[in-house]
Each structure stands twice: as C-alpha cells, then as structure tokens.
Amino acid sequence: MVLGGPPPKTLITPALFSRPLPTPHTGRRGRQARTHQPGTPLPVWGVGRGREKRAGVRVLGGGDLPGAKFAPSPDTLREVPTLRQLLAEARPLLAATPFGAPPREALLLLGHVLGWSEAQVLARGETEVPEAAEARFRDLLARRLTGEPTAYLLGEREFWRRSFQVDSRVLIPRPETEHLVEEALAETLPDRPWILDVGAGSGILAVTLALEISGARVAATDLSAGALAVTAGNARRLGAAVRLVRTDLTAGLDLARFDLVVSNPPYIDPAEAPSLSPEVRDFEPALALFAPGSGDSVLARLFAECAALRPGVRLAVEIGFGQLGAARRHAESAGLEFLRVRNDYAGIPRVLVLQRR
Ligand SMILES: C[S@@+](CC[C@H](N)C(=O)[O-])C[C@H]1O[C@@H](n2cnc3c(N)ncnc32)[C@H](O)[C@@H]1O
C-alpha cells in the first residue's frame, strides 16, 4: 500500500449536482459535442501517430487496438481540469480586466455552473470538472472578460434579502436603491394603500413594497415591454400582486387614487456616457440609464405629473450625483414640497422625499 501523494481526484457525476448539468456547449470553443458521459468509463480512442497520456483520459495509438480503423477526434483529447485549476486559470484573467473584475467572481461563476456554494467549490478543489460544466464555465468567463456584468451571467441579484431575476432588459438592482425602500416603509399610510412605482425595471421596488406593506395594492409602469416581462416574472415567483402598465411615466393613470409614489427613474446625462464603466454603458439598457437631453429631464417630467396627486401624498424618488439642487427646483415648480433627503453609503444625496402641497 502506498501512503502519501496527492489526494485522490473525484469525478463529478450528475448525481452530485443539485440541478441537471448544462447541456454540452460547443459554440465559442469550436468543439464537437463529445459522447462520453461523466461517471461512465472513459473512452479509449486511437489517435494515429504517437502516443499521449493526458490527465483523466487514456489515449492510445491505433496499433493498440488490433484491426481497428479510427477516425481520430481531437475532441477526445481532453485535459480534465480540477476546480482548483480552473479557478487558478480564471482569477488572473479577471484581475487583469480594465474594469477590475474581482478575482472572486471566478468562484461565483464556477459555483453557478455546478449549482454549488462558493464554500463547496473551495472545499472540493481537487474535484474534476465534467466537460459540459467546464465549457459552460469558460463561456461565462469569456463573456465576463468582455465586461458583461456578473448579475446578467448569473441571472439574478439580491435586493432587500430577496433574489430577483435580471437580464439585459433591466437595470441591475443597486444597493443604494434599498434606501428608497427604507424611506417608503417609514411613511405612514392608510389601510390597503395604493402605491405606484414609476419605471419598474426588474420590479424590485414594486415587488418589495407589495410584500413588505401589509394590504398594499401596487401598480408599476415602464415604457419597456421587456422590463415589464421581467417584473411580471419576479412578482409571480416571489408571490407579489403587482398591476403592470406599459406607459410613459404615469400617462393614463389616475394619480389622485395613489397614496404613495416611488420611482428610480433614468437620471444619467447622455453626455456622461463616455465616462461610464463599459460594464454599465455597454450592457445595461440605455432606456434605464439615460434621461433624454439632460440628466434631470425625466425627474422634471415626473414631478410635473405628480402635481395631480392629492394634497399631502408623498413621492420618494432616487436622484443622481449632483442633482439635488436641480431636483429641488423642479419639485418646487411642480408644487411639491421638499421634506427630506437621504444620503447613500458614499454620502451622496440619493433619495428625495417630497409631498404634494
Ligand atoms: C433606473 S431604471 C430603475 C429600475 C428599477 N426600478 C430599479 O430601481 O432597479 C429606470 C426604469 O425606467 C424605465 N423608463 C425609462 N423611461 C421611462 C418612461 N418615460 N416611462 C416609463 N418608464 C421609463 C426604464 O425602462 C427602466 O426600467
């Protein structure tokens, strides 16, 4: 018996996955789908000239199998990497991106592909990765290296302790938008209040308020049909009743019915686009980011429409960096009284609470 040496490798079998293995992906790496199934004996193929031994795959010369005529497939010459090897390969690539992707994201992507937690991936570093999972991981990594945000690759982002599904049709939820929820929850509202979310996106505000405020009746608008589809999916999955309206801001709605309005409208000036991170500028929807003309144009229109609220009804709205002065001026001219402003984690004025005079 031989003692010592490297720990034995584990071959992942489908039974170890908490969800089915992704289907073999061949696109970006230009491979053909292999026929070998993880967990079954590895194939032995002839390769013509020479003889190779690669980790996890026995490759024999044609002469090893008498009489056999082989059509060698390079696809069968597969290194079987361990989790640790894939992580070691990916981390420096992420760290070298011009947008400074955290190397830890390698763990997130690998865990996502395997259906494992980060801790599980770390603890099982010597586990061999089946080809389909490796291909899926490499595909996600390649997309991440182009700047595609991790939230889109994972298909979800947490907000207010719930997981929201996101894709390229919606803005990725930002932590500072939780301040808007805090301000909304601090309001005293009538029983079964009507709440309106303008510019729903993934539905984080509408769904969160519908679930956090007992008896709330929530409506959400968006100009984007794609965004409303994402809101609908999140509302259904999280068990929130939200009425969806595809419209320009509040057009067509009877604002006098609502007891609270919340909104995180687009507020970036299009002139600032060149200075944005490519992760944001090139991947998140322009409709969600940019206010046409100038950064405060949507805020100004929204405030003007909120003149139709009942006196005393409040509006909690997220604003951009440096927009407090302009937002207060627009509010004043729309008959909305400034009540308070909430700074974000960076100390930037971020959420404005206004009241219809
Ligand atoms: C900054 S995103 C906010 C999304 C979500 N509420 C959040 O906080 O993550 C703004 C949203 O407003 C929508 N939007 C942009 N212009 C609009 C308009 N004129 N009327 C209605 N919705 C609009 C966009 O499609 C986008 O979903």
pLDDT, tens digit (0-9, with 9 covering 90-100), for 222-235: 999 999 999 999 99
Same domain, 60 and 130: yes
- pLDDT tens digits for range 239-280: 999 999 999 999 999 999 999 999 999 999 999 999 999 999
- Tell me which of 223 and 32 has the higher pLDDT: 223
Q: What is the average pLDDT across 55-76?
A: 38
pLDDT above 50: residue 174: yes
pLDDT above 80: residue 285: yes
Same domain, 209 and 121: no
Same domain, 200 and 320: yes
Across-strand partners of 46? 60
199 alpha carbon to ligand 1 midpoint, in Å? 3
Four-CA torsion 140, 144, 146, 149, nearest 10 degrees? 120
Same domain, 139 and 162: no
pLDDT above 60: residue 99: yes
Helical axes 177-185 vs 204-212, angle rounded to 10°: 30
Q: Which domain holds residue 186?
A: 156-356
CA distances from 61 to 31, 48, 53, 200, 323 (A): 22, 6, 10, 61, 71
Same domain, 288 and 350: yes
Output the residue whose Cα is nearest ligand 1's atom 12: 199
* Total count of domains within the chain: 2
- pLDDT tens digits for range 314-352: 999 999 999 999 999 999 999 999 999 999 999 999 999
Among the residues of 21-124, which ranges form H helices? Answer: 83-95, 105-114, 118-123
The pLDDT of residue 239: 98
Q: What is the average pLDDT across 47-52?
A: 25
The pLDDT of residue 15: 30
Q: Is the pTM of this model over 0.85?
A: no
Length, in residues, of the chain: 357
The verdict on the CB of residue 264 being under 6 Å from ligand 1 is: yes
Return the structure tokens found at 19.
Answer: 């969800």
- pLDDT tens digits for range 176-193: 999 999 999 999 999 999
Same domain, 163 and 117: no
Q: Which atom of ligand 1 is nearest to the CA of 202?
A: 5
Which domain-ending residue is among 101, 129, 147? 147
Same domain, 194 and 266: yes
Q: 105 with 94: CB under 8 angstroms?
A: yes
In a domain, 4, yes or no: no
Same domain, 142 and 161: no
In a domain, 233, yes or no: yes
In a domain, 3, yes or no: no
What is the rounded distance in angstroms from the CA atom of residue 235 to the CA atom of residue 249? 20
User: What Rg value do the Cα atoms of the chain yield, rounded?
Assistant: 27
Residue 352 backbone phi and psi in degrees, to 5: -105, 135
Same domain, 56 and 167: no
Same domain, 60 and 139: yes
Output the residue whose Cα is nearest ligand 1's atom 19: 248
What is the rounded distance in angstroms from the CA atom of residue 195 to the CA atom of residue 43? 62
The verdict on the CB of residue 205 being under 6 Å from ligand 1 is: yes
The verdict on the CB of residue 230 being under 6 Å from ligand 1 is: no
Q: 323 with 267: CB under 8 angstroms?
A: yes
In a domain, 223, yes or no: yes
Same domain, 126 and 259: no
In a domain, 308, yes or no: yes
Query: Which of 295, 324, 159 is closest to 354 using CA atoms?
Result: 324
Which domain-ending residue is among 109, 125, 147? 147
CATH number, position 99: 1.10.8.10
268 alpha carbon to ligand 1 midpoint, in Å? 12
- Tell me which of 11 and 304 has the higher pLDDT: 304
pLDDT above 80: residue 108: yes
152 alpha carbon to ligand 1 midpoint, in Å? 17
The verdict on the CB of residue 173 being under 6 Å from ligand 1 is: yes
The pLDDT of residue 76: 58
pLDDT above 80: residue 124: yes
Pairing of strands 57-60, 194-198: unpaired
Output the residue whose Cα is nearest ligand 1's atom 27: 201
In a domain, 253, yes or no: yes
3-state secondary structure of 300: helix
Q: 340 with 301: CB under 8 angstroms?
A: no
pLDDT band at residue 79 under the 50/70/90 scheme: confident
Which domain-ending residue is among 121, 147, 173? 147
The pLDDT of residue 27: 29
- pLDDT tens digits for range 193-207: 999 999 999 999 999
Same domain, 49 and 188: no
In a domain, 203, yes or no: yes
What is the rounded distance in angstroms from the CA atom of residue 262 to the CA atom of residue 181? 9
Averaged confidence pLDDT in the chain: 84
Q: What is the average pLDDT across 204-219?
A: 98
CATH number, position 215: 3.40.50.150
287 alpha carbon to ligand 1 midpoint, in Å? 7
Strand boundaries in the chain, DSSP class E = 10-11, 45-46, 52-54, 57-60, 127-128, 156-159, 162-165, 194-198, 217-222, 242-246, 260-263, 314-318, 336-343, 349-356
- pLDDT tens digits for range 133-161: 999 999 999 999 999 999 999 999 999 99
In a domain, 344, yes or no: yes
Q: Which residue has the tokens 């029983």?
A: 191
What is the rounded distance in angstroms from the CA atom of residue 221 to the CA atom of residue 249? 7
pLDDT above 60: residue 311: yes
Q: Which atom of ligand 1 is nearest to the CA of 224?
A: 25
